[in-house]
Structure 1
Amino acid sequence: MSTPEVRILAAGSALPGQPVDNAALARRFNMDTSWEQWVDAFIGTRSRHLAVDLESGEVRSSLAELAATAGQRALDSAGLRPDDVDVMLLGTATPDQLMPATVNMVAERLGIDGIPTYQLQSGCTGAIGALDLGRQLLRTGEHRTALVLGGDVCAKHFDVDFDLKTMAPTELVNVVLFGDGAGAAVLTAEPVADAAVVHSIVNRLTGLGRPPGQVVDWYGQANRRTDAPALQEDYKAIERLVPDMAVEVLKELLAGLDWCDTDVDYLLAPQLSGTMTARIVKELGLPGAEEISCVAEIANIGNAAPFVQLERLLPEMAPGDRAIGIAIESSKWIKAGFALGKV
């Protein structure tokens, strides 16, 4: 019996609240115009959606709420119901609680029960890890339809009363770098016509001997019981290493499928920041590929980003089109990617 191909039927996403631009952040935290200019030039991200209200500090959206909305939108787009799903996976770095697992609270909201559920805790590559596991489960023949989710809500790290002027640069960058959101994709092992086939997925830990580029502790900036920083990021190391890692993923995917650079019609580049994504796209050197990016308008939304990109990509793909998606995680240096083709 041959191994079935796995296809992506549809994708969906959900973002909390209205977009918050750099000027609004500057006003809320009493930062001068030079700070706003620094964000525009150094980060290159214009706005983001936040699960926390900037004025009151109230958390308005949980990851479970956003993921359930994204999952329902993906199912609706695929023409399926929640009871059509027979395996469910979530990739996130920021679960709502340690227990119960957020994936199970999403299932509760969708009315899903009696199926296997999996939650993968990881940074920006968690979504691709979830896609990888979902694909492997479908290829066994034991499952037919997978709902794969990814998302992050950083409310616990967003303290609306903190004085940003006292923050070290390694902490300050995270205030403007990240946004909140969730995404989902529906995978099937059925031979559905006009659906994108997942040809290959790369998911590699490459952190042996490398110090972490990002450390996120259990407590958050907004609920602290220690003076130690809750989140640290070695942005210089990220700038140095991530573009090369992205090129490595691209080369591995192309070689594994015997594709050439010119065979790629769409590129879903890592969504770190506006400036970093532009630099990575240039390093990847795929001049004939159309870039599918969202980071400039909704910021780095972690594990939700690949699904937002897929949501934009899938309606654009024509028969014969090929796409490459790449994500890099700086925590302990994970490189990941996938290749799709429209049959």
Structure 2
Amino acid sequence: MHFRGIGTATPAARYTKAECLAAFEKSDWFARLDARAHVVARAVLQRDNGIEARRLAVDSLDEVFTIDPNTLARRFLAHAPVLAARAAASAIATSGLTAPDLGAVIVSTCTGYLCPGLSGHVVERLGLRADVLAFDLVGQGCAAALPNLQLAHALLTANVCTHVLSICVEVSSAAIYLDNDPGVVISACLFGDGAGAAILSRQPAPAGRRIEWIASTSLIEPSQRQALMFEQRDGMLRNILTRAVPALAAAYAQQVLTTVLGRAGLQTADVSAWILHAGGRDVLLAIERQFGLSGDDLRYSAAMLREYGNLSSAFVYFVLEAALADAAPAGWWWLSSFGAGFSCHGALLRVS
């Protein structure tokens, strides 16, 4: 399987963490939450948390604090199809292919639910063939990009189709929830909205950089499900985020990396570019220590986190796009995501 094109999309509105704190402090919610929640929000939004800004699908930050099921559902429906189609159109444009060339589309999300699913909206907006194979994957959280790509790999390997469109789209502002739980408050300060897409093909593009999917593996540990997950409360999604997440992410990411590199006869030092999901600054630091890397090794993940926040499943597409734009050195690249489950996935790429 080869990556033929990459595309990303975000809402136009950019909000700094200082602006987010100011909006929170003047909202009705500020008075409804306790002093501890105020301290947590200020600590996250005033100190160096690795994030400077986020893109949110709202015209004003005041809208963020209207939190009810109908408002959030309308926000997801209004923005998820648009972001997904924009990212996909960008990926198609860079692939040298056209919409009718695509035999399958796979769409992942965890921040909203539609029936019929998002794939149908993408088919309509992009003018994909009526007989395109369409898959909607839900509930995999921040880790979803890799399972999405693994399904694309299976379809291509089985000769079911020649080209697959992979999309991850998250409207985190449509999954906003507030209460006095520190993990809930921190989540509200971390996540942004965006979509990422890739065109995967059996054969590489005739020109340009070649990115080949070599091998992958997954690790799912249900006993740690409570460490990071969504739950339904009052008809809305409530994020559960615990202090154990950075250590879990680093440990499982190490296991996945060791497994795939071991099978390929490679060492960590053989990896020339790291395309990693960044749950947050503390997660990146934990992975840096666990892998024995430097901050520079994770510079693409850190840069995307700083400008966009945690984009959940879409994040790794932004990191891959950044590495390609920077002409990162050819060789072995490592692509990895982790999230709810607790799950972790990794793939070895060969770039030339």
Tell me the TM-score normalized by structure 1.
0.86
State which of 5, 8, 28 in structure 1 corresponds to 2:3: 8
Whole-angstrom CA distance in 2 between matches of 1:333 and 1:34: 25
Change (3 A) 1:87 1:206: same
Q: Which residue of structure 2 aligns with residue 299 of structure 1?
A: 309
Whole-angstrom CA distance in 2 between matches of 1:188 and 1:211: 34
Whole-angstrom CA distance in 2 between matches of 1:152 and 1:318: 27
Q: Which residue of structure 1 aligns with residue 337 of structure 2?
A: 327
Whole-angstrom CA distance in 1 between matches of 2:48 and 2:229: 21
**2:55 pairs with 1:49:** yes
Change (3 A) 1:211 1:199: closer
- Pairing of 1:183-222 with structure 2 (within 5 A): 183-193=196-206, 194-207=209-222, 209-218=223-232
Instruction: Name whichever structure is richer in helix by fraction.
Output: 2
Whole-angstrom CA distance in 2 between matches of 1:34 and 1:187: 42
Whole-angstrom CA distance in 1 between matches of 2:311 and 2:99: 25
- Pairing of 1:39-78 with structure 2 (within 5 A): 39-41=45-47, 43-53=49-59, 54-57=61-64, 59=75, 61-78=78-95
State which of 271, 279, 282 in structure 1 corresponds to 2:286: 279
**2:112 pairs with 1:102:** no
Whole-angstrom CA distance in 1 between matches of 2:161 and 2:44: 49
Whole-angstrom CA distance in 2 between matches of 1:116 and 1:278: 40
Q: Which residue of structure 1 aligns with residue 258 of structure 2?
A: 251
Displacement after TM superposition at 1:260 (Å) = 1.6
User: Quick check: 2:187–2:241 contact (8 Å CA) kept in 1?
Assistant: no
Change (3 A) 1:9 1:233: same
User: Quick check: 1:26–1:36 contact (8 Å CA) kept in 2?
Assistant: yes
Report the number of matched residues.
Answer: 323
Displacement after TM superposition at 1:52 (Å) = 2.7
State which of 335, 340, 348 in structure 2 corresponds to 1:339: 348
Give the letter aligned to residue 19 of structure 1. Answer: R
Whole-angstrom CA distance in 1 between matches of 2:15 and 2:246: 25
State which of 152, 176, 180 in structure 2 corresponds to 1:134: 152
Whole-angstrom CA distance in 2 between matches of 1:245 and 1:64: 32
Change (3 A) 1:74 1:299: same
Residue identity (%): 23
Whole-angstrom CA distance in 1 between matches of 2:149 and 2:50: 29
Gaps of 5+ in 2: 31-37, 65-70
**SS in structure 2 at match of 1:8:** strand
Whole-angstrom CA distance in 1 between matches of 2:238 and 2:112: 16
Displacement after TM superposition at 1:158 (Å) = 2.7
Displacement after TM superposition at 1:106 (Å) = 1.3
User: Quick check: 2:17–2:52 contact (8 Å CA) kept in 1?
Assistant: yes
User: Quick check: 1:213–1:235 contact (8 Å CA) kept in 2?
Assistant: yes
Q: Which residue of structure 1 aligns with residue 243 of structure 2?
A: 236
1:123-149: CA deviations, max 9, x gaps?
111111010000111011221111101
User: Quick check: 2:272–2:329 contact (8 Å CA) kept in 1?
Assistant: no
Change (3 A) 1:315 1:85: same
User: Quick check: 1:51–1:155 contact (8 Å CA) kept in 2?
Assistant: yes
Q: Which residue of structure 2 aligns with residue 3 of structure 1?
A: none
Gaps of 5+ in 1: 1-5
Tell me the TM-score normalized by structure 2.
0.84
User: Quick check: 1:94–1:152 contact (8 Å CA) kept in 2?
Assistant: yes
Q: Which residue of structure 1 aligns with residue 320 of structure 2?
A: 310
Root-mean-square deviation (CA, aligned residues, Å) is: 2.4
Displacement after TM superposition at 1:10 (Å) = 1.5
